[in-house]
Amino acid sequence: MIGLVALAAAAWGSAPSLAYAGVNLAGAEFGEVAPGRLGVFGKDYTYPTAEEVRYFRRKGMNAFRIPFRWERLQPQPGAALDPAEASRLRAVVREVLAAGAVAILDPHNYARYYGKTIGGPDVPISAFADLWARLAKEFARSGRVWFGLMNEPHDMPTETWLRAANAALTAIRSAGAKNLVLVPGNHWSGAHSWTTSDNARWMAQVRDPGRHFAYEVHQYLDRDSSGTHAEVVSPTIGSERLAAFTAWCRGRGAKAFLGETAAPATAEGRAAIRNLLLHLQQNSDVWLGFAWWAAGPWWGDYMFSLEPKDGKDRPQMEYLREFLRPG
C-alpha cells in the first residue's frame, strides 16, 4: 500500500492523516431494471457531472465512488459492454482523473443481476467474473481507478460471496490489471457486524493473485446501522462500531476503506461523524479513507446529501472540513 500513500501525498503536497477522503457521486444506479427494460438515460437515471467533480475536488476531496447498474453496462451476461453506457462511465472517470483524484467503480447491485443472486442457478459466478474481466481491460491503464467489486452483498451464503469475489480477483489479474480492488463482505458489508457474523471467517480467505486489495465496509450511525433514520445513537457510536473490525484488519495486516458513511445535519450528527472520522485517522495504518454517502444531481432534500443547494454548501460539508485538504 506504500504506493497509495505516496500517490495521495503527491496529490496534496504532503501526506494527510487520511490518504483518501471523498464522496459517492450517485445517479447511475437510480431506477428499476428488468430484462428488456433498463430505463432511459436522463429520465430514469443519470450520471454525475463534470462540475460536481470539480466542486468536490475544490473542497478537498480526492476519491469519488461512482455507483452504476451492472445490467445497464452489460445487458446480457458474458456479452460485450453496452457502448453508450460504457461511454458515459468512461466520461465520468476521465473527469475524476483529470482532477487528480481516484475514481472507484461501484456496480451497485447488492450481488444481484436482474434481481437474481450471484452464485445461484440463474447467475453463475463466471458471469460476475466476466464483468470484471471486461472492466479490468477497460480501466487497467490508470492506477487511480479502483475496482469496487460490488455494493453491499446480502442474504446469500458468505462462502458463495467469497468464491465470487475470488473469481473476480482472478479475472482482474488475468486481464493484466494491477489496480487496487475493494472487496466487500456479505451482510451489507457492515463494519459493525463483521466480527460477529461469518464475514470474519470467510472473508479472511480472500485470495488476490496481485496482492493489492483492501476490504470495503460501510457504517452508519443510526439505531440499526442502516442509514435510514435521521438520528444517531450517541456521539461515540462511530468509533464503537468500527473498533472490532479495525482490530480484525490490523491482526491480518489488511487495509480497509469506508465506502459509505453519513450523518444528519444536527449537532449530534456532527459530533458522531467527527468521532468516526477521528477513529479512521487514529488508525490510518488500517484505514485508507472514506467516501460520504452521497452526492449527485437528483438527491433533492435527501437528509445526507452533500450536493450544493441553491449555490450553497450543505451543512455537512462543514462537518468534514477538518478532514479535507482543499487544493
Instruction: Please confirm whether the linkage preceding 294 is cis (ω < 30° from 0).
Output: yes
Q: Residue 179 in contact with residue 147, Cβ under 8 Å?
A: yes
Residue with grid cell 464475514, as numbered in its chain: 199
Catalytic annotation, pick one of 71, 216, 260, 307: 260
The C-alpha cell at 189 is 458489508
The Cβ of residue 193 has, within 10 Å, a number of other Cβ atoms equal to: 20
Residue with grid cell 493484466, as numbered in its chain: 176
CA within 13 Å, CB half, 82? 15
Alpha helix (H) residue ranges in the chain: 2-12, 50-59, 70-73, 83-98, 125-139, 158-174, 199-202, 237-252, 267-282, 315-320
Catalytic annotation, pick one of 52, 95, 152, 307: 152
Answer yes or no: 52 catalytic.
no
Answer yes or no: 138 catalytic.
no
Active site residues: 152, 260
